Amino acid sequence: MRAAICPGSFDPPTNGHLNIIERGIRIFDRLIVAVAVNMSKEPIFSAEERAAMLREIFANHPKIEIDFFDGLLAEYARKRKIHRILRGIRTMSDYEYEFQMALANKTLYPELEIIFLMTEGRYTHLSSSIIKDVVRHGGRAAEMIHPLVEQQLRAKLCRKEWA
């Protein structure tokens, strides 16, 4: 069985993330979407909240598993006995960062293969930071995030439910 891990902070999950996951499941037999628990930045959502949103969004996709990881991705992959990592790339700066991370992970776990999947053009501009700013200032984010995510993000950032 060809399985891969698609790791990320997913804070919040964007339509770009969802697109990479949906395209990834067409490439692999099973995809583990691994939510990073301890991030260097302060997340808006807890790891449990991020995972819950992803589980609800992908509830009808039996080949997608939502899990958590804390610490090194290479160690998580080794523990899960997975040899493939799927990463989305939006820009050249993403590529430079991901390339360095891929080399580090390959050093830690030589059997690991990292697959980069280019984000579709309509999602290239999306970032969690931009989306948070749009929502925080009352803008509509319907083209950027799933309606469930928008509702929960508004509740967090605006302290009121989005109608």
CATH number at residue 108: 3.40.50.620
Q: Does residue 153 form part of some domain?
A: no
User: Which amino acid appears at position 57 of this protein?
Assistant: I
Mean pLDDT of 41-69: 95
Q: Examine the residue annotation and report whether 93 is marked as an active-site residue of this protein.
A: no
| pTM of the complete model | 0.91
Q: Does residue 135 form part of some domain?
A: no
Q: Which domain holds residue 111?
A: 3-124
Tell whether omega for the bond before 12 is within 30 degrees of 0, i.e. cis. Answer: yes
Mean pLDDT of 16-44: 92
Q: Does residue 142 form part of some domain?
A: no
Mean pLDDT of 15-22: 96
Q: Examine the residue annotation and report whether 55 is marked as an active-site residue of this protein.
A: no
Q: For residue range 107-148, what is the model confidence (pLDDT) as tens digits?
A: 999 999 999 999 988 888 888 889 999 999 989 898 899 999
| pLDDT for residue 159 | 63
Q: What are phi and psi of 96, to 5 degrees?
A: -60, -45
Of residues 159 and 8, the one with the higher pLDDT is 8
| pLDDT for residue 91 | 85
Q: Examine the residue annotation and report whether 63 is marked as an active-site residue of this protein.
A: no
Q: How many domains does the chain have?
A: 1
Q: For residue range 74-114, what is the model confidence (pLDDT) as tens digits?
A: 999 999 999 999 999 988 888 999 999 999 999 999 999 99
CA 108 to CA 110: how far, in whole Å? 6
Q: Does residue 92 form part of some domain?
A: yes
Which helix or strand (DSSP H or E) is residue 54 part of?
helix 47-57
Q: Examine the residue annotation and report whether 127 is marked as an active-site residue of this protein.
A: no
Number of H helices, E strands in the chain: 6, 5
* Active-site residue identified among 9, 84, 87, 128: 128
Mean pLDDT of 64-71: 96
Please check the confidence at residue 1 and state whether its pLDDT lies above 90.
no
Q: Does residue 157 form part of some domain?
A: no
Q: Does residue 50 form part of some domain?
A: yes
Q: Does residue 155 form part of some domain?
A: no
* Active-site residue identified among 50, 84, 87, 90: 90
Q: Does residue 90 form part of some domain?
A: yes
